[in-house]
Amino acid sequence: MYRKLLMGAGAIALAVSLNSGCADNSPTTKTDSPIATGQSTEALPAEAVGTLEIRANGEDFVRQGFTSKDGWKIEFDHVYATLAAVTAAQADPPYEPEKGKELQAQTQVSLADPQTIDLKTAGAETVRVGEVKAPAGRYNALAWKMVKPTDGPAKGYPLLLQGKATKDSQTVKFAIKIDQELAFSCGEFVGDERKGNLKPGEKADLEATFHFDHLFGDAETAATDDLNQGALGFAPLAAIATDGQLDADLATLKQKLSPADYQKLIGILPSLGHVGEGHCKETAIQAGA
């Protein structure tokens, strides 16, 4: 009998002690990546590597067209962008371009060759730039250059916008040829979902995003909004078209636009590159390239 009593008391005491230990106070620890910058994926075991895909996105502004801040309905036929030195990095500390500090990559991978892509590619929300085998980990930084392609439909222009703009009875067919090379360095993708968390044996993606509403403005946004206040709009471009045609590189635009509008255009170019909604730092223009 006493043995049963002792067993019962022991069971209760055990239950009480287990209950009091239910609260989880055990800390988790941060695991730092042991992979040094620039280490080849060939030196890593296969189970430590995944596939990182880089995509580009011109958003609905490019895919579906939109109305500029000054009432021009813009439809694109093609938006060619040539991306080079596309580099994804595991940055520690996390890279925040607006703070002006250098990107400190613990691990980084790059695409081998420049790629010219058309952000207007039919049926695609985002366009594949390329993919690379990469060590697993969280890729929280992306950098790329925009260079002059040596061949193809956009030869000589890192960014080429082709389409038409309509307002009332006016239509302007345009080819805006941006021959200024650009370079963007960005932090973590900011959007509906998180991107860049590459797990061993799996696939993840990062996105270079282009915000063309910064150039033309957006009629669906208040005229007083900073976006529209800073945008060029399309009216200054329509004003320099001839017979409903505008075919202009930066030299032509500099010659025909007012100095204020041209400076506005040049000032907008560094703000085109994003990672989702996250801003980037442009370095090529700042360096005088």
Q: Which positions touch other proteins (CB under 8 A)?
A: 1, 4-5, 8-9, 12-13, 16, 20, 23-30, 93-94, 96, 98, 138, 187-188, 190-191, 193-194, 197, 211, 213, 221, 225-226, 276-279
Cis peptide before 93, with omega less than 30 degrees from 0?
yes
State in angstroms the smallest separation of the CB of 119 from other proteins: 17
Residue 120 or 211: which CB sits closer to other proteins?
211
Q: Per DSSP, what are the bridge partners of residue 49?
A: 135
Nearer to other proteins, 17 or 169 (CB): 17
Of 34 and 93, CB closest to other proteins: 93
CA torsion angle 261 262 263 265 (round to 10): 90
Q: Rounded to the nearest whole angstrom, what is the least distance from the CB of residue 287 to other proteins in the complex? A: 21
Backbone φ and ψ for 89, nearest 5 degrees, come out as -140, 150
Least Cβ distance, residue 223 to other proteins (angstroms): 14
CB of 267 vs other proteins, minimal distance in Å = 13
CB closer to other proteins out of 30 and 259: 30
Q: Are 165 and 68 in contact (CB under 8 A)?
A: yes
